[in-house]
Amino acid sequence: MYKISDFKDVTSVYSLLLYYFFCNITMCKVILATLTVILIVSCYAQAYKLNAEEETADLSHNLVKRDWNGQYNNNYDEQRRREEEERRRREEEERRRREEEERRHREEEQRQRQGNWRPFP
């Protein structure tokens, strides 16, 4: 979690400059006060943006990760492909099992019709 204290070193320089010119020129006070407000707001915006990116990455359940270059790498397609292959493999096994059961059933019926049916192989 990022906080404004993470950017404290930058804001302290502006605060020091603001304090230095506080007793001198009025226009410098206004300019530095404006710059300080802009800097603080931008620091909060940066922290908010970084937190939002982390939350987005957390919510994606590890589907979106950064690779070693810092680029986003979408593993969703790879995961979907693996799930599809697994589903096809299970369907093929189920189909083979059903075919084998049907073949055995047909053979048993054929043996019964021929009259040499045996309850045990």
How high is the pLDDT of residue 41? 87
Is the CB of residue 2 less than 8 Å from the CB of residue 51?
yes
d(CA 3, CA 15): 18
Is the CB of residue 29 less than 8 Å from the CB of residue 21?
yes
How high is the pLDDT of residue 76? 61
Per-residue pLDDT of the chain (121 residues; tens, 9 = 90+): 555 555 566 666 666 666 665 555 666 777 778 888 888 888 888 888 877 776 665 555 555 555 555 555 556 667 778 889 999 999 999 999 999 999 999 988 887 777 765 666 5
d(CA 74, CA 80): 11
- Go through 11-23 and write b for each residue having 16 or more CB atoms within 10 A of its CB, e for each that does not: eeebeeebeebee
User: How many residues are listed for the chain in this entry?
Assistant: 121
How high is the pLDDT of residue 44? 84
How high is the pLDDT of residue 32? 77
Is the CB of residue 66 less than 8 Å from the CB of residue 72?
yes
Is the CB of residue 32 less than 8 Å from the CB of residue 21?
yes
Q: How crowded is the C-beta side of 25, counted as CA atoms within 13 Å? A: 5
